[in-house]
Chains A and B, each alone.
Chain A
Amino acid sequence: MLAEIPGIKHEPLEDGRLLINIGPQHPSTHGVLQVLVELEGEVILSAQPELGYLHRCFEKIAEKWTYPQIVPLTDRLDYISAIFNEWAYCRAVESLLEIEVPERAEYLRVIMAELNRITSHLIGVGTFGLDLGATTPFTWALRVREEFLNLFELVTGARQMNHYLRIGGVKQDLPEEFPALVEKVFVLLDEFLEDYQTLLLDNPIFLVRTKSIGVLDPQVALAYGATGPFLRASGVPLDLRVSEPYSVYDRFSFQVPTASNGDCYDRTKVRLEEMRESASIVRQALKQLPDGEIRAKTPKVLKVPAGEVYTAVESARGEMGVYLVSDGGTSPYRLKWRSPSFVNLSTLPVLVKGAKLADFIAILGSIDIILGEVDR
């Protein structure tokens, strides 16, 4: 039975229109997302995303748990790039506690976060090829990603649910052989990026299916609050690492890749460029890495002074913000999560209106959503 949704009638539709469900078990929805699509022929008249299949009451659970206990819980939101979740949350708590994070810890955070951005984009561009029917780039992307996950396992102890950041620093230092291992993996990454270019981006079928498909107007994007590579593909060079440099990002020189058309092709292209930039940031950070402590001293029972704060980091999908209200106790009074996937997904009805049904999957895949973060 269909849910009651305002604006969509459940009686048989007149003049040959058709209402179909895409998802929640559709393989191209990257999780459990249901989209109600109204069609006329094969042209989409309207689309309505239905959320909530992966809702786990994260924000409510966080009100019962102590501050350090929430860190492993945040890993489960955007499970493809867990470091960003931890970072956004830890920054919020640290700014309320007024803790100074040691410099070396900040560098380690940057290194792991940028590596995580690469693994996340590898999944993003890999599955995008899969959505369009190209299976080879996906297996190639996962092969490279596996090498990155080994690095994560070496440093953080786990491949995806890292639990690496702590309030006031990081869990442990890098092993000695880490810079050499990173260089080895970056060679593989460069090979992959070249292969991906020839295999997919220069492929005529890929070009036909992505060029001028799902064009996002920059004004619309800004009005909806879209962020990340999704927005930058429309030509808006907004990146929190540059516009409000947090941590030690002001010490690295890197480009913010943008594109002008805002179609599916540009979004993929921007993600590929970002992987190169992230690799360059990791190289610079490893070169500048200072000595010193990796964790500030925090009390054993953490009581955060009353107050409220909003902090954000530039995650692989955009601005990941945390609004934290504390009443002076050992657990948050309120923890609100601004997830970039959710905001970017809200542009879907605008993007697919008037598009063909066959392009719907390409457009949805190019937004690069993670349902664990959309529903929380």
Chain B
Amino acid sequence: MLEMLGTVLRNLLSPPATRLYPEQRREPLASTRGQIESVIENCIFCGHCQRVCPANCIEVIRTEKTWSLDPYRCIVCGRCVEVCPTEAIVMNRHFRGPVRQRVPLTAQQDSD
């Protein structure tokens, strides 16, 4: 009985274990894989990311100088970020939110 009283008091005085989610959000940790983003200025269109992608969601077209990714097919494994020779693909730590329409992420480099 006394033991129970201790548990009750401890639970009354301690803060809740959960967060009030939509208001309080946890900062993503240092190496969290959130979503893939492109830094198209660095891209050399080698197509290496396209070949290693397990979900087959990246399309690189060298002639048109475009790089596109289907974020709703991407499993955020981070392989493309690892293999990119020029750091043209970066990992954003924040998760992608829900959307109403599936729009692919496309980036085009200005032709000189």
Which A residues are closer than 8 A to B by beta carbons?
Answer: 65-66, 68-70, 72-73, 143, 150, 153-158, 161, 163, 171-172, 175
Q: Is the CB of A72 within 8 A of B29?
A: no
Given contacts A65-B54, A69-B54, A72-B54, whether A154 and B31 have CB atoms under 8 Å apart is yes
Binds A, one of B36-44, B74-82, B103-111: B74-82
Residues in chain A near residue B32, CB distance under 8 A: 153, 157-158
A-B contacts, 27 of them at CB < 8 A, read: A65-B54, A66-B52, A68-B52, A68-B79, A69-B54, A69-B79, A70-B54, A72-B75, A72-B79, A143-B17, A150-B29, A153-B28, A153-B29, A153-B32, A154-B29, A154-B30, A155-B31, A156-B31, A157-B32, A157-B33, A158-B33, A158-B76, A161-B75, A161-B77, A163-B77, A163-B78, A171-B82
Residues in chain A near residue B82, CB distance under 8 A: 171
Name which residue of chain B comes closest to A161, CB basis.
B75
Name which residue of chain A comes closest to B51, CB basis.
A66
Chain B at the A interface: SS class: loop
Name which residue of chain B comes closest to A159, CB basis.
B32
With most chain A CB atoms within 10 A of its CB, the pick from B28, B30, B77 is: B77
Q: Is the CB of A175 within 8 A of B54?
A: no
Shortest CB-to-CB span from A352 to chain B, Å, is 36
Residues in chain B near residue A154, CB distance under 8 A: 29-31
Shortest CB-to-CB span from A195 to chain B, Å, is 9
Number of A-B contacts (CB under 8 A): 40
**Contact residues on B (Cβ < 8 Å of other chain), bracket:** 10 to 19
Give Cα A158 to B34, complex, Å: 9
Q: Is the CB of A172 within 8 A of B31?
A: yes
Residues in chain A near residue B28, CB distance under 8 A: 153
Give Cα A175 to B78, complex, Å: 19
The 7 A-B residue pairs whose C-beta atoms are closest, nearest first, are A72-B77, A69-B54, A157-B33, A157-B31, A154-B29, A163-B77, A153-B29
Q: Is the CB of A157 within 8 A of B54?
A: no
Give Cα A143 to B32, complex, Å: 20
Give Cα A150 to B32, complex, Å: 10
